[in-house]
Amino acid sequence: MTPSVRVATLVTLLMLNFRHAFAAPGVPSVGQSARIHERALTSWVLKGYGTESSCTQQQIDQIDSAVEYARILAKAALTALEDAGTSSPAYRRWFGDANANEDTLASIKANNYEAVLSGLRAPESGTVKDEDEGGLDPSRLVFSCPDQTHPVCEPNRYAGTEPIAGMLNAGEVYKTNVLRLCPPFFRQVSQLQMLVNWRDWKEGDLATSADFALLHEMQHLDAIVGKPNRCADHAYSVADCEQLSADEKLKNAQTFAYFALDVLVNPPSQAK
């Protein structure tokens, strides 16, 4: 974690009176997680400058920060799961009473959060001219920054929404995993502002951060969660996610992001 991100995080926790976000007894280290998750990514690259959907230096800097903050969200989720297991209000709210069992708890910890800690990194392995450069490679993640004219990023004029990001698994369109970060990704609020928003939220839309979006997108990626655990997008809003069936809760990407946000703002007490 860079010094600036570390300082900003400490300020965030102090301002919101968090005491447990980093107290994670029993949470496996990143190295341990890497041994558990053999499917983890091994290469994180950017579309090269001057190519279609390449990222600017400013966007690269924002991606780097978003990755670090996404790891903070994942770490907070692991801490809560270790401390309170299935007994916390947040667990019941987002995953449901029907999923309050040890097998499901273990799966969520390993596949949806530990795997993010071990597998998500900022683009550090160089650049590529196109997504298929080097041939089939399901262990590579390509970060790209298409503009709003790209089909993935085109605004929905009827719904009045703009896509934030899109994930493609290796073999679906390209031979590698491709994460497309649309223009709104770079206009999201800061993590600090998102935490304040959640603390004060009552109803309606919630403004979230780029790191929240990254944690969401990782739930779609087979190289992170494993193909049997790949999530869909059954719901996005708080109210809609809360109303999902027990099975849908475990296959909805936004659910895992909301749980992490919820426990970062409201850390549960340790189970007795």
Res 180: pLDDT: 97
| Mean pLDDT (whole number) for 230-252 | 97
For 192-232, how does the pLDDT look when each residue is reduced to its tens digit (9 = 90+)? 999 999 999 888 789 999 999 999 999 999 999 999 999 99
Rounded CA-CA distance 181/19 in Å is 33
Backbone phi, psi, residue 154, to 5°: -65, 130
Its pTM stands at: 0.87
All domains in the chain, ordered by first residue? 3-265 (3.40.390.10)
Rounded CA-CA distance 226/219 in Å is 9
Q: Looking at the predicted structure, is the pLDDT value of residue 1 above 70?
A: no
Rounded CA-CA distance 242/244 in Å is 6
pLDDT band at 160 (very low <50, low <70, confident <90, very high): low
Rounded CA-CA distance 215/264 in Å is 14
Angle of helix 210-218 versus helix 191-200 axis, rounded to 10: 90
pLDDT band at 50 (very low <50, low <70, confident <90, very high): confident
Angle, CA 193 vertex, CA 230 and CA 255 arms, to 5°? 20
pLDDT band at 16 (very low <50, low <70, confident <90, very high): very low
Average pLDDT score, the chain: 87
Res 44: pLDDT: 96
For 17-30, how does the pLDDT look when each residue is reduced to its tens digit (9 = 90+)? 444 444 333 333 33
